[in-house]
Amino acid sequence: MLLTAIDESRKASDAEVDQGFERIRPLVLGALLDAAAVALRNLGSVTLTSRPRMFAFAQWVVAGESAMPWEPGAFEETYSASRADAHEAAIETSAVGSAVVLMMNARAMWTGTPTEFLAAIADVGRSGLSTRPDFPKFVRTATDSLTRLQVALRARGIYVSQGKSHGVRFVKIEKTS
């Protein structure tokens, strides 16, 4: 989010901000209560285009949307975009996430043990990722990072599963798109 600088002549002290808020507090409370009343009335008829994380919250906001100062559908669009941005940020800021994406650019599926997984992302990481301070040095760290990134990777069309077969732990990564 980019915020514009406030002109020196328009800057306010904390006391002035508090005083201004006190003047509009009844209006804010009234608007919130109006939105809650509309949401209660519409909640049973709300249909979302998807079932996002925090589904009940999304239903409430969409149910009260007609009382809000934005166009119908704007919340779902903004919420979806925000979630997509968060997924991308999680991948981009993680050495493991970045390495998995690079690794899966060249294949549709990868399967191996956790030790082989660390070696595979280190091999991909030769592009500079493996020198990052957050690049895992231990197998457990790598698989824990992979587990935390599952939802973000799934949003990118990369599905991760981990488990045990015949007493041997495995990691399976598949690309659907």
- pLDDT value of residue 127: 67
Q: What is the C-alpha to C-alpha distance for residues 106 and 128, in angstroms, rounded to an integer?
A: 17
Number of neighbours of residue 110 by Cβ within 10 angstroms: 20
* C-alpha torsion sign, points 114, 115, 117, 122: positive
Separation between Cα atoms, residue 53 and residue 67, nearest integer Å: 23
As beta bridge partners, residue 161 has 172
125: pLDDT strictly greater than 80: no
Q: Are the CB atoms for 103 and 110 separated by under 8 Å? A: yes
Average pLDDT across the chain, whole number: 93
| CA distances from residue 135 to 1, 15, 96, 115, 130 in whole angstroms, order as listed | 28, 47, 7, 14, 5
Q: Which band of pLDDT confidence, cut at 50, 70 and 90, is reported for residue 111?
A: very high
For residues 82-87, average pLDDT: 94
Q: Would you say 108 and 174 are in contact if contact means Cβ atoms under 8 Å apart?
A: yes
Task: CATH 3.90.1150 in the chain: give the residue spans.
Answer: 94-175
Confidence of residue 177 (pLDDT cuts 50, 70, 90): low
The secondary element (H helix, E strand) that includes residue 8 is none
Mean of pLDDT values over 20-44: 95
112 bridge partner residues: 171
C-alpha R_g of the chain: 23
What is 94-175's CATH number? 3.90.1150
In 64-126, alpha helices (H): 74-92, 95-105, 114-124
The arithmetic mean of pLDDT across residues 8-12, rounded, is 91
